Structure 1
Amino acid sequence: MSNLSFRPATEADIPLLQPLIKRAYRGDAARQGWTHEADLVADDRIDHAGLLEKISHPEGVVLIAADSSTGEFISCCEVLHQPDTRTCYFGLFAVEPKIQGGGIGKAVMAYAEKFVQEKWGATKMEMTVIWMREELIAWYGRRGYRKTGERREFPYEQLVNGKALRDDLWFEVLEKDLTATQ
């Protein structure tokens, strides 16, 4: 997508970012897209303090993708450098639900991968996906991400203003070799 502009988020962006993230992950608005967790978790996904912590993290960046013509935030993601490694974590990935499927996610992911390679010399990117999100895991697989066989617990105790709708949630860990050619 050539009409995207990218930049790191600041605290001033939180009032626009937080609703975008919630729309992409939770509630009825999320159901307009295909990447949501609305049937698995009923909470706000992240609060102001949690988003500020990610934006302010010394080893991390929340990247905003905006429509160049309107300035509207249409996607974001977090990249977090894991000190003493050449691995970065990719998360908090949100694309405006009503425009999912148009290539924005691919463009944001490609930008994030290049960003971590240039900023931290990363050679690997990892992420976590709820295990039952097979179509999402397959989408990441088409972008070079592979299951590691590692399982991480779901943070039930960290839900924001809500609850999980299932008690069998956990994360599949995926990783990509950023040095491999696709």
Structure 2
Amino acid sequence: MSQVNLTTRIATPDDVKILLSLIRSAYRGEESRKGWTTEADLVADDRIDEAGVLAKITASNGIILLATTDSGALIACCELIKRDSDLGYFGLFAVDPNQQGGGLGRRMLQMAENYARETLDVKKLEMTVIGVRVELISWYVRRGYTVTGEQRPFPYEHLVNDQVGKTRNDLYFDVLVKDMIAVA
């Protein structure tokens, strides 16, 4: 895959529908199976709805950062939240499943980390990953994240369009953290 130029910007309410499409395609459903980050075999749900995306875009303490190609096509996104003066949160990371495996995710993660460090001025960046996603956790560890040993419950009560009985009932999140000062 040739190097794709990426431009980042902060999402606006006008981006809700296109973001929703990208996020759903990257996380769950048949389209997500084209990439390696799919959760389709774990969770039978849409991941998020329009109201959820809009809430994240308009949150006072966070943003959705999106990446587009030179042609303007949305190719990746993530959420960044400033939790307190030292701690930020990275989540809702999605890369077009047709474009995964070529380094775009790594580049988007780096852009998000730079934004968190330089604009949000956080010293640590936290994320949660479904605990059974060992290969994904390993990917983050190779990028400087540390598995803290803390586990958080999976938010079954917030599933958007759950297909009862098809979502695994043993899910939890592992918490990972990266020191943003050490990489500055």
Alignment of 1:12-51 (within 5 A): 12-51=14-53
Aligned residue in 2 for 1:122: 122
How many residues align structurally?
Answer: 180
Query: What TM-score do the two structures reach when normalised by structure 1?
Result: 0.95
Q: Distance in 2 between matches of 1:101 and 1:2?
A: 13
1:14 aligned counterpart, secondary structure: helix
Aligned residue in 2 for 1:60: 62
1:41 aligned counterpart, secondary structure: coil
Q: Distance in 1 between matches of 2:183 and 2:177?
A: 15
Aligned residue in 2 for 1:105: 105
Judge conservation of contact 2:36–2:100 (CA < 8 Å) in 1. Answer: yes
Aligned residue in 2 for 1:92: 92
Unmatched segments (≥5 aa) in structure 1? none
2:13 corresponds to 1:11? yes
Unmatched segments (≥5 aa) in structure 2? none
Aligned residue in 2 for 1:162: 162
How far does the alpha carbon of each residue in 1:82-137 deviate from its partner, in whole angstroms, 9 at most, with x for none? 12x31100000000001101111111111111101111211110100000000000
Identity over the aligned pairs, expressed in percent?
52
2:151 corresponds to 1:180? no
Offset at residue 165 of structure 1 (A): 1.6
Q: Which residue identity does 1:64 align to in structure 2?
A: L
Q: Which residue identity does 2:37 align to in structure 1?
A: T
Q: Distance in 2 between matches of 1:21 and 1:51?
A: 9
After superposing on structure 2, the runs of 4+ consecutive aligned residues of structure 1 that deviate more than 3 Å are none
Q: What RMSD in Å do the two structures reach over aligned CA positions?
A: 1.3
Offset at residue 2 of structure 1 (A): 5.8
Distance 1:2 1:96, change over 3 A: closer
Judge conservation of contact 1:11–1:55 (CA < 8 Å) in 2. Answer: yes
Judge conservation of contact 1:86–1:120 (CA < 8 Å) in 2. Answer: no
Q: Which residue identity does 1:149 align to in structure 2?
A: G
